[in-house]
């Protein structure tokens, strides 16, 4: 008899929980995805260097992908800009001084961050973003 009471209480608890979850989901949009609509085409991200100091060729497919996603790969060949970039991973503690120098001189840079740096230096990553620097992924 005691087992029946415990079983009944358990089933009622599960039922109430299920109804609560269902009622919380009402009114929320459901997004369905279908992986078959995605391309499995391999995309190489290498560049083809030129011998005459022209910009490298990234290829028409990669250029189209970059443009469609507001990606940055090459600068404007007709305008002379310097892009300051830093590869941030195991950087021995120099980043705070680098950020201080950049801020003092009103210079923006791009920081390519490793997962380790992101996971261990959250404050510096936030500072980079807040100070207007670009934060990119370093594979």
Percent pLDDT > 70 in the chain is 76
Kindly tell me if the per-residue pLDDT of 89 is higher than 70: yes
DSSP 79-131: S-----EEEESS-TT-HHHHHHHHHHTT---EEEE-HHHHHH-HHHHHHHHHT
Opening angle at CA 124, ends 120 and 125, nearest 5: 80
Residue spans of the domains in the chain: they are 83-139
CATH number for the domain formed by residue range(s) 83-139: 3.40.50.1100
- For 59-73, how does the pLDDT look when each residue is reduced to its tens digit (9 = 90+)? 888 888 888 888 877
Burial 66-99 (b: 16+ CB within 10 A, else e): eeeeeeeeeeeeeeeeeeeebebeeeeeebeebb
pTM of this prediction exceeds 0.85 = no
């Amino acid at each position: 008899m005691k087992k029946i009471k415990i079983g009944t209480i358990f089933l009622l608890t599960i039922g109430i929980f299920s109804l609560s979850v269902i009622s919380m989901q009402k009114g929320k949009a459901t997004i369905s995805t279908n992986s078959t609509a995605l391309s499995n085409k391999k995309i190489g991200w290498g560049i083809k260097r030129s011998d005459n100091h022209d910009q490298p060729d990234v290829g028409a497919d990669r250029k189209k992908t970059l443009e469609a996603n507001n990606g940055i790969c090459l600068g404007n060949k007709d305008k002379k800009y310097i892009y300051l970039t830093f590869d941030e991973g195991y950087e021995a503690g120099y980043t705070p001084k680098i950020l201080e120098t950049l801020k003092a001189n009103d210079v923006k840079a791009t920081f390519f961050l490793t997962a380790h740096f992101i996971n261990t230096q959250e404050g510096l990553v936030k500072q980079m973003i807040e100070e207007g620097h670009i934060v990119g992924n370093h594979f």
